[in-house]
Amino acid sequence: MKLLTFSTWCLALLGWAATTGSAADLKTRNVVLITTDGLRWQEVFQGADELLLSKEFGNVGNTNALRKEFWRATPEARREVLLPFLWGKVAQSGQLWGNRTKGSEVRVSNGRNFSYPGYNEFLTGYPDPKIDSNDKVLNANTNVFEWLNSKADFRGRVAAVVNWDVLPWILNAPRAGFPIWSGFEVPPGTQRLPVPEALTEMVEHGRTIWSGVLLDTFVGYAAKHALRELKPRALFVSYGETDDWAHEGQGERYLRSAHNFDRFLGDLWNRCQAQPEYRDSTTFVITTDHGRGPTPIAWKNHGREIAESSYMWLAVLGPDTPALGERSQTPLVKQAQVAATVAALLGEDFPRAFPQAASPVPGVIKP
Ligand SMILES: [Zn+2]
């Protein structure tokens, strides 16, 4: 009996080591999960859609100038000019999933295709059918950052910088216990991430466009500050202008937000490489909360009634990820797999603690 228990335990351990690796075998010591709300897989893999560059469907003022910037003859050239970091550095040294034209699909599995269900799914590792609105309700589910912060190796080394006023509720900030910066009111009991007074003052006067979403530039500044001052081992950063400009039907601003997100990724990556705590030991996991409908009209929206908005994308760049570039003919990747992937890169087994959580994405970690 004792022997059986021991061998079962050994087998379980071997299986775990095969899928997640152990911290000792991994070069990754830090993970940054970076998202931009509602950026379509179509822009990621094909660059600017011609209809978004038009007056009629993208509400563009100077179409000639915008075409000069983002229109090219092939999807490959268009995506490179729109997202130079993703198609330069990440495509060369990391991996990208989600190009449906090449047999690679990444999908939301919550069936709702809007934000709270999506953030819950990738942060906690499973879709929760009880979540059916974007209301500020404290999430009952434990997210991977909260779980990491409960472990001795990570306690006090976890942080989040978020753009949307609902995210501290989705993260259940008071219970999660790690510092969060949002630029908005947070639920009582939240540990706030300190930022320079100048940023707080600018944000106070800078909430001029949307009532619950910040301009990405403030988020980028806070994220760089957090990296420099707090040196977290697990950091979540959420961008979001892509979603709001798309809802407004502003093609130019949607594309510029995507371009700016990519620039932020490159900037943050270079900063990591310049900091000894992060150099060659940091993995970026980059994704979104949902897709959107097709052009010419439905691209503005997403949700249960727009089936195409369940398709999304995922990119990973770091020292343990084989440089397979743009993936093709892959098994379906579920949004829910992101949480366990973040943990696995740090040598931790999230599904062992939360059996309902999806497993890490295969191929992210060198065998
Ligand atoms: Zn939206």
Domains defined along the chain, listed by start:
24-353 (3.40.720.10)
Section 233-245 average pLDDT: 98
Q: 176 C-alpha vs ligand 1 centroid, how far in Å?
A: 25
Residue type, 156: G
Q: What angle do CA 229, 235, 241 make, to 5 degrees?
A: 105
Q: How far is the CA of 184 from the centre of ligand 1 (A)?
A: 19
Instruction: Look at residue 20 in the predicted model and tell me its pLDDT.
Output: 52
* CA 238 – ligand 1 centroid, Å: 14
What per-residue confidence (pLDDT) applies to 206? 87
Task: Output the CA 234–ligand 1 centroid distance in Å.
Answer: 26
In the reported structure, the alpha carbon of residue 290 is separated from the centroid of ligand 1 by a whole-number distance in angstroms of 8
Q: Based on C-alpha coordinates, what's the Rg of the chain?
A: 20
Burial class (CB in 10 A: 0-12, 13-18, 19+), 219: buried
Question: What pLDDT does residue 4 have?
Answer: 46
User: What are the residues whose beta carbon lies below 5 Å from ligand 1 (ion)?
Assistant: 38, 243
Distance (Å) from CA 37 to ligand 1 centroid: 7
User: Using CA atoms, how far apart are residues 143 and 124, in angstroms rounded to an integer?
Assistant: 4
Centroid of ligand 1 to alpha carbon of 235 (angstroms): 23
What is the distance in A from the centroid of ligand 1 to the CA of 286?
A: 18
Write out pLDDT tens, residues 63-108. 999 999 999 999 999 999 999 999 999 999 999 999 999 999 999 9
pLDDT at 13: 46
- Residue 103 CA, ligand 1 centroid: distance in Å: 26
Distance 211 CA to ligand 1 centre (A): 14
Taking the centre of ligand 1 as the mean of its atom positions, its distance from the CA of residue 245, in whole angstroms, is 9
**113 C-alpha to center of ligand 1: Å?**
9
Distance 208 CA to ligand 1 centre (A): 18
Ligand 1 centre distance from Cα of residue 266 (Å): 25
pLDDT at 251: 98
- Round to whole Å and give the CA distance between 228 and 234: 13
From ligand 1's centre to the CA of 167, what distance in Å? 14
| 3-state secondary structure string across 52-118 | HHCHHHHCCCCHHHHHHHHCCCCHHHHHHHHCHHHHHHHHHHCEEECCHHHCCCEECCCCCCCHHHH
Residue 11: predicted pLDDT: 45
CA 203, CA 218: separation in Å to the nearest integer?
7
- The structure tokens listed for 148 are 């990491």
Is residue 257 predicted with pLDDT exceeding 80? yes
pTM of the model: 0.94
Confidence of residue 32 (pLDDT cuts 50, 70, 90): very high
